[in-house]
Amino acid sequence: MGLHHITWRATASALSNADVLADAMAWLVGDEEAVKLDRSTSYHGPELTLITASTANKRKALQSLAKLGEANLKQLQSEMEQRMDDQHVLHFRLTIDSVVEGEPKFAIGAGTGTVKGQAKFEVYSGLTEEEQLENTFAEANELLEGN
């Protein structure tokens, strides 16, 4: 049980420090090598950097999810129906500032830069989908207690 993978994405404008954001996302995913930067220019000319951090290592993916913290994990669990798609991918957004500070907080509304998170949950026969999702969140909380 757990996660198949987790992916984080953010866009840094020419006014942003892409390297600081990339370092923060490396912390979030737990691996510097998992961070990719794609620099390009926007339609109007300024530079944009798409930053992607992902891991298919199940343990690292669960550790990355656990970095959201207990309160955020509880919120995700309570909003599961609204945030989960048909392929068992959980979607959520964090504010860029909170990720850079190492204290992830969910983005509310528009207006701030965000880091989009997508966590693909494993769901197999034997247990109900709800039981498996609850077990995965319980594992993430156990990782929090261990740190």
Which of 115, 14, 30 lies closest to 72 in space, CA to CA? 115
Provide the CATH number for the domain around residue 115: 3.30.1440.10
* Across 104-133, average pLDDT: 87
Q: CB–CB of 56/131 below 8 Å?
A: no
For 7-73, the DSSP string reads: EEEEEE-TTS-HHHHHHHHHHHHT-GGGEEEEEEE-TTS-EEEEEEEEE--HHHHHHHHHTT-HHHH
Kindly tell me the sign of the dihedral angle through the C-alpha atoms of 129, 56, 144, 100: negative
Q: How confident is the model at residue 144 (pLDDT cuts 50, 70, 90)?
A: confident
* Across 99-119, average pLDDT: 90
Phi first, then psi: give them for residue 142, nearest 5 degrees: -65, -40
Q: How many domains does the chain have?
A: 1
2-49, pLDDT tens digit by residue? 899 999 999 888 777 889 999 999 999 999 999 999 988 777 778 889
Residue 73 has pLDDT above 90, yes or no: yes
At 146 the pLDDT is 66
- What tokens were used for 135? 């077990």
**pLDDT over 90 percentage in the chain:** 67
At 83 the pLDDT is 93
Phi first, then psi: give them for residue 10, nearest 5 degrees: -150, 155
Q: pTM to 2 decimals?
A: 0.89
* Across 101-115, average pLDDT: 88
Which of 95, 136, 135 lies closest to 8 in space, CA to CA? 95
At 61 the pLDDT is 95
At 71 the pLDDT is 94
* Across 115-126, average pLDDT: 90
Q: Which domain holds residue 125?
A: 3-146
